[in-house]
Amino acid sequence: MTTWRSEVIEAIREIGGQGTLSQIYAAVQSRASRHLPPSWQAIVRRELEYNSADSQSHQKKHDLFYSVDGIGAGVWGLRELEMTTPEAIDIVPPERTQSSVYRILRDTEMARRVKKLHSDRCQLCGTALRLAADATYSEAHHIRPLGSPHDGPDVPGNIMVLCPTHHVLLDYGAIELNMTEINTAQGHTIDRQYIDYHNLNVARVSCGDEIDHALASGDLRGVPGGTRPAFDLIGSLRNFCRKIRENTDANTALAGYGR
Ligand SMILES: [Zn+2]
């Protein structure tokens, strides 16, 4: 013997998972194999409300139905189909989980002062994001980052005013800096040593296959625009890094031997 509850569930399922009260009544009526009592519409409404957490009359045993457009609008749906219906229509399931990171930015007093000197205009693209008629927004970047391992200082010469996009690009070392392409403002001068620090220690610029190959073989002919000084500079930087690494290894080995 079927219950009223399962009758209502099947009726809503038949009309596609949701519908108005009159559509639900019609579906219940067409399914009925027996004579319906005079109060059957009130019974259907009672089943919807008793079994829906959206309703004041919820009996807290089952949560089978949901109010599609808010209580009183008279449109009910099956809870089990509530989440899956929109996904099936227009959302392609993502292949992997995506998470976004909210970057917390705390300005130092110095950074606030420098931002003011630039009227929030990005020193790379000139943009000042407008938040409201009387409010603009910018971010202060410490070119040689504060804190370990970089230990940059909080001084005007180490601060750059940027739009959020350029701030991310610099933080992730995606771009190099060129002193001549940086917008200036009265009262604020960037110290070149921090620009150099960024280019050498923060920016991740690949030398490219040709240069890597040329460095390995000592042959300059395959390097586009390659000059002896540039080649030597890159080579000596590479050697310098290698020596530090070897020294570290040697020190570690010696330390182990001594014990
Ligand atoms: Zn910018």
Kindly list the domain boundaries of the chain, sorted by start residue. 4-90, 109-202, 213-258
Q: How far is the centre of ligand 1, averaged over its atoms, from the C-alpha of 161 (Å)?
A: 9
pLDDT at 232 over 70: no
pLDDT in tens, 79-116: 887 754 334 444 455 555 555 555 666 778 888 899 99
Q: Three-state secondary structure along 45-114?
A: HHHHHHCCCCCCCCCCCCCCEEECCCCCCCEEEEHHHHCHHHHHHHCCCCCCCCCCCCCCCCCCHHHHHH
d(CA 51, ligand 1 centre) in Å: 55
Taking alpha carbons only, the member of 77, 103, 104 closest to residue 14 is 77
**Res. 10: pLDDT tops 70:** yes
State whether residue 173 is helix, strand or coil.
coil
Q: Residues 108, 154: contact at Cβ < 8 Å?
A: yes
**Residue 140 Cα to ligand 1 middle (Å):** 11
Are 156 and 114 in contact, with CB atoms under 8 Å apart? yes
What does the pLDDT read at residue 68?
Answer: 84
Report the predicted TM-score, pTM, of the whole model to 2 decimal places.
0.44
* Record: fold of 4-90: Arc Repressor Mutant, subunit A (1.10.10)
CA of 196 to the centre of ligand 1 (A): 20
Distance 138 CA to ligand 1 centre (A): 9
The overall average pLDDT reported for the chain is 80
Q: Distance (Å, rounded) from C-alpha 79 to C-alpha 122?
A: 50
Distance 166 CA to ligand 1 centre (A): 5
Residue 75: strand pairing partners: 20
- Kindly give the distance from the C-alpha atom of residue 123 to the centroid of ligand 1, in angstroms, as a whole number: 7
> pLDDT value at position 247?
60
* Distance in Å, CA 172 to ligand 1 centroid: 15
Ligand 1 centroid distance, CA of 129 (Å): 9
Query: Which one has a higher pLDDT value, 65 or 203?
Result: 65
Lowest mean pLDDT: which of 44-48, 65-69, 144-148, 227-231? 227-231
Ligand 1 centroid–CA 124 distance in Å is 5
Q: How far is the CA of 179 from the centre of ligand 1 (A)?
A: 15
Distance from residue 119's CA to the centre of ligand 1 (Å) = 13
Instruction: Fill in the DSSP letter of residue 254.
Output: H
CA of 21 to the centre of ligand 1 (A): 55
From the CA of 216, how far away is ligand 1's center (Å)?
38
Q: Is the pLDDT of residue 193 over 50?
A: yes
CA of 128 to the centre of ligand 1 (A): 8
pLDDT confidence of residue 241: 56
Instruction: For residue 190, report the distance from its CA to the centre of ligand 1, in Å.
Output: 16
Ligand 1 centroid–CA 125 distance in Å is 4
Distance 122 CA to ligand 1 centre (A): 5
